Structure 1
Amino acid sequence: MDLVEWLQRIMVGFGAAWVMWLMIGLSVISVAIILERAWFFWSLRDDLGVLARDLRASLDDSVEAAIKRMEASPSAEAAVVSAGLAVAHKGPEAAEEAMAGATALQRMKLERRLAYLGTLGNNAPFIGLFGTVIGVVMAFDELGKAAVNTTGAQAAQAAQAAAPQAVMSSIAEALVATAVGLAVAIPAVAFNNFFQRMIKATLANTEALTRILLSHLKANPSFVVPGEGLAAHAVEKPRKAAKVAESRATGGTAKKAASEKAASDEADGEEES
């Protein structure tokens, strides 16, 4: 038995049904990912126009208002701006780097599991085509069997009798495999493109909001967030305490030296008398 005949027997023995079951399983996973990603993007929705206007107004008002407004928004854009506000007291460069890192993290969250949809959309038609090839092989195998078992005019009659039955059913199975592959690929590609478009829009909105914060920081070099004042107070308080202790120690030493000098002068006076 050569390799071609061995592969043919394997294809004919298993048929194309397992390919369609595989495609159905992959489509179930695809639908689950589509629903999960749709819910995820829906949970991040916010009015970005209002958010940008509120960010400008809150920055002009107070830092506390800006932080509270960003924390109240569920959007990925607000999460990136919050990362910049957290280090805004260190300068525009630090805020820009922090927001760049936060943007990278948000991109990873937005693109999670989309690679599966892209891969399935690109390869599902080929898997269906594989099932189609198996169905065609089965059809020709049925024709070959009919020709081998009969001779002459009987071979032609047997081939004609086999065509409406086993041969045509094999061809129908092949076409069904192609249809299943396309049915799985089309939604995966469509939703993958839709989610990729939403990711691009989210990143563009993030860039716009980060520019608003950076422009405010560069226009106000003395911009200080509440955390910096608290940290400076925490550092200054031990310094003041150390100075007080030092002054007390110096004052105590001076008083002690003065008392010792007075006692010495009094003793000298008694000796002279």
Structure 2
Amino acid sequence: MFSRVLTLFAAGLIALASLGAVPALAQDAASAPPVAAQEAAPAAPAAAVGTETKENPYGLMNLIKNGHAVDQIVLGILLFMSAGSWFITFTKLWDQHKIGKEVREAREVFFKKASLADGVKALPEGSAVRYIAQTAVEAGDHHEGTLTENIDRNTWVSMKVDRAVSEVNAKISSGMGFLATTGSTSPFIGLFGTVWGILNALTAIGVAGQASIDKVAGPVGAALIMTAIGLAVAVPAVLGYNWLLNRNKAVMAQVKAFAGDLHGVLMGSRLVKR
């Protein structure tokens, strides 16, 4: 539980950093004077005493402090989606690593035991492989019931093992839908902020009666910031989704191989007893 909370906190910090990186780069690029102006300007003194850094009136901080409610809502949604994407990516990577390690260790321990009961006890508590093994053993031992007896033991055990494997797959695949949703919708949410900023710019021009730069620069700057942030949220979500999907396939292949070997051992032990 503590690791999940720590991961959530780290994901929030990464989301804040990613959302602020693009506007900061744009602000630095906009504030830098042209090369020709730098060459023509006289050399500045080595140290200016008492100079103050003026806050950019068209940057991200100004948008957060003085922006419209719609702009702030859009930023909040993008921040939530970015933090959720990073949190899911980190937690799923940990779950995949954990299950893959459990399967590798189970192959070295489980199949070397003298009995299935000893093999189950040798597996770590609460692990996915122990859950699958315990489900298979219980299905083989308990095949009673009027309706259940209509299914032969081999099919019954196969059904129970497949269901246990499907539950493990559902566990490590949870949250993938959020990544897919974030990757597909966050650019459009940023685009909505862009459209809203352009609408504000046109409205300011219409009210003022003239297209002065101070009436246009602020809303258009906010619009461009929204577009950049939407893309910055979408790209890591899409990359994380595809990466986790491929890793899930590899991990589940190992889990299914372990379940298949377990089923074969369980059926072979029944034949030996008979």
Q: Which amino acid in the other structure matches residue 135 of structure 2?
A: A
Q: Which amino acid in the other structure matches residue 126 of structure 1?
A: F
CA distance in 2, matches of 1:220, 1:42: 31
SS at match of 1:16: helix
CA distance in 2, matches of 1:103, 1:117: 23
In structure 2, the residue matched to 1:112 is 174
Q: 2:121 aligns with which of 64, 68, 80?
A: 68
Q: Which amino acid in the other structure matches residue 112 of structure 1?
A: S
Q: Which amino acid in the other structure matches residue 188 of structure 2?
A: F
In structure 2, the residue matched to 1:88 is 140
Matched, 1:21 2:76: yes
TM-score by length of 2: 0.61
Q: 1:216 aligns with which of 252, 257, 265?
A: 265
Provide, for residues 32-62 of structure 1, a one-character-per-residue CA deviation record: whole Å limited to 9, x for no partner.
Answer: 444444444454451534422433323xx32
Matched, 1:129 2:184: no
Residue identity over aligned pairs, in percent, reads: 24
> C-alpha displacement at 1:98, in angstroms?
1.3
CA distance in 2, matches of 1:115, 1:133: 27
> C-alpha displacement at 1:80, in angstroms?
1.5
**Alpha-carbon contact 2:198-2:220 (below 8 Å) kept:** yes
CA distance in 2, matches of 1:105, 1:47: 16
State the Cα RMSD in Å.
Answer: 2.9
CA distance in 1, matches of 2:271, 2:70: 75
Of 170-179 and 81-90, the range deviating more from structure 2: 81-90
> C-alpha displacement at 1:179, in angstroms?
1.1
- Write the mapping of 1:120-159 to structure 2, written as runs, cut at 5 A: 120-147=182-209, 158-159=210-211
SS at match of 2:83: helix
Greater C-alpha Rg: 1
> C-alpha displacement at 1:110, in angstroms?
1.9
Matched, 1:171 2:233: no
CA distance in 2, matches of 1:134, 1:181: 14
SS at match of 2:271: coil
Of 172-181 and 37-46, the range deviating more from structure 2: 37-46
In structure 1, the residue matched to 2:112 is 57
**Alpha-carbon contact 1:126-1:181 (below 8 Å) kept:** yes
CA distance in 2, matches of 1:198, 1:74: 22
> C-alpha displacement at 1:133, in angstroms?
0.8
TM-score by length of 1: 0.61
- Unaligned runs of 5+ residues in structure 1 are 1-11, 148-157, 225-273
Matched, 1:46 2:101: yes
In structure 1, the residue matched to 2:252 is 203
CA distance in 1, matches of 2:251, 2:128: 7
In structure 1, the residue matched to 2:27 is none
**Alpha-carbon contact 2:165-2:259 (below 8 Å) kept:** no
CA distance in 1, matches of 2:126, 2:244: 18
Q: How many residues end up aligned between the 2 structures?
A: 198
CA distance in 1, matches of 2:73, 2:266: 62
| Residues 17 and 92 of structure 1: CA distance in aligned 2, closer, same or farther (over 3 Å) | same
**Alpha-carbon contact 1:128-1:177 (below 8 Å) kept:** yes
| Residues 143 and 42 of structure 1: CA distance in aligned 2, closer, same or farther (over 3 Å) | same
CA distance in 2, matches of 1:21, 1:47: 39
**Alpha-carbon contact 1:46-1:73 (below 8 Å) kept:** no
> C-alpha displacement at 1:26, in angstroms?
3.1
SS at match of 1:72: coil
CA distance in 2, matches of 1:74, 1:201: 21
